[in-house]
Structure 1
Amino acid sequence: MNFLSHFYFDRNTPNVNIVLGTVLPDLLKNANKSWNVHPEKHPELFDKVGLGDLLQGWKRHLHVDLLFHSSAFFSEKTQELKRLLVPILKDSPVRPSFLAHIGVELLLDHLLIEQQKIVITSFYDNLEAVAEDDLIGFLHSCKIDDTPLFFKFFNSFKSSRYLLSYQKLDNIGYALQRICMRVWEHPFSEKNIYDLNVVLEFYKNKLQVDFMVIFEEIENRLI
């Protein structure tokens, strides 16, 4: 799941460290893809005030991702989108399965916003409220010493408020293009981009009928 879908499950959580923890695994990977840490395996290192809450959110993220990726919903929806993508990607290096996986996740974020299930500004308010010392302590306990590199990314992530762009469906297509450009130098032709946006609009209308099923299913299993 993407940032806003993770936030959905803790949208009413008053503890800002827990909220940040639920998206921290993805923030670290975006800041530096070589950072491969597993704080959940060493909880004794995070028993200080503030750090334990970040770890709680981190473990929540892992649990939600496990439930989501093992669900019948995920399998069904990614296969549906993949079938729509295969014919439009025949001249593209992009793997339809890769694009379908990410596409479903970003469309879920978009639908949460559109259906007013979350408030994006609340998400950013939570991130802004986290004490920097708590986050530095967490990173050091993860053996990440280059905290300036993380904060350069994190502060940019907060100030740009990029996730606000997910309100418009056209920007979901753009986000997918940017992600694919990290893997392939020239992922799409102009026709690919046009066809991708057509497919996303079609599939978004199909997905919105029952997309909340997966959030309800996961929420019930988290309690």
Structure 2
Amino acid sequence: VKRVPQNSIQHWGELHGLSPSDGIVVLPQPNGISAPLEIVLLDKVSSGCAGIIQLLEWAEFPNSFLLVLEHPEPSQDLQHFIRAREFLSKQVARELFRQVLEAVQHCTSCRVLHRDIKPEIILLDLATGQLKLIDFGCRILSYSPPEWIHHQCYHSTAATIWSLALMLYQLVMGKHPFRTGQEIIWGWILFPQWLSQ
């Protein structure tokens, strides 16, 4: 269950065909129901892809929204999974990255840009090895491309590829390749000799 305070919601959208739980009053809008963009985006992407967290139900309250999301048990976010192992073998990294790519490709086919792809927002079902892309709350590029740091603008496809590349590096190397914004702008990444070409 995820509680989202209304005063923290920066982006809104309209839902068509999905309504909150029975018994909760929502004032209808002319073309649909006004809802946080996270709910709208989850509605668009959560069916048809095992790699996207499923929105089971949602409700509006006077000061917040409540989202009921699937939660596999046992599970761990990918960031903690990597840290516990220092780094992942190329075979494990390849399989996990393949699943992330499938989830991102599904989002793209639904015309949804996640904007915050990073290990912390990927949930790993420890029993099955299935990944789930979570948190469609429209954060601002924590795995920022150089143009975002330098000019505060980005191209959606290029920014997605950049985030995915940084995440792949982190899967294999066990750490983020950059420590500062200036390092990102310079684009200097060190690859150890043991890493295959």
Q: TM-score, normalised to structure 2's length?
A: 0.30
More helix by share: 1
Q: TM-score, normalised to structure 1's length?
A: 0.27
